[in-house]
Amino acid sequence: MFIAMNRFKVLKDSVKEFENAWFARESYLHELPGFLCFHLLKGPEREDHILYLSHTMWRSHADFEGWTKSEAFRKAHARAGDSKPTTLGHPEFEGFHVLQEVSSDGTVKRIVAEEHRHAGGSSGHQ
């Protein structure tokens, strides 16, 4: 499982515009193989901004990569930046491989992380 997150530092006077842009957009995520769920999160307020996160869960890193290279991704992001800026700078991307999952029924799963291949095909093991 892979979790993709983008951190947005939203200007305080642009909160409604930022939220409405997300609520009104077509995401196309549900059309992609491996998509599990999406959350738009509102976080703490700082002196000059409010932190928001987009949080998307994928079956695998490969599925996430497929999304970023898809026509659906291009369509979903086609209007980004069309209006006045609502954030301080660009979003900050963070990607995470899930190692453990604890379910509400108490089930604990250890998840084997996908291996990353370095340029040249070596994983550092001989």
pLDDT tens for residues 79-88? Answer: 666 667 899 9
- The more confidently predicted of residues 121 and 95 is 95
Output the pLDDT for position 124.
37
Domain ranges of the chain: 2-96
Beta strands 100-102; 35-45: pairing state: unpaired
Per CATH, is 2-96 categorized as 3.40.50.720? no
Average pLDDT score, the chain: 86
Q: Which of 4, 122, 123 is nearest to 63 (CA)?
A: 4
Q: Please give the backbone phi and psi of residue 114, each rounded to the nearest 5 degrees, phi first.
A: -65, 140
C-beta of residue 95 within 8 angstroms of C-beta of residue 2: yes
Mean pLDDT score, 26-40: 93
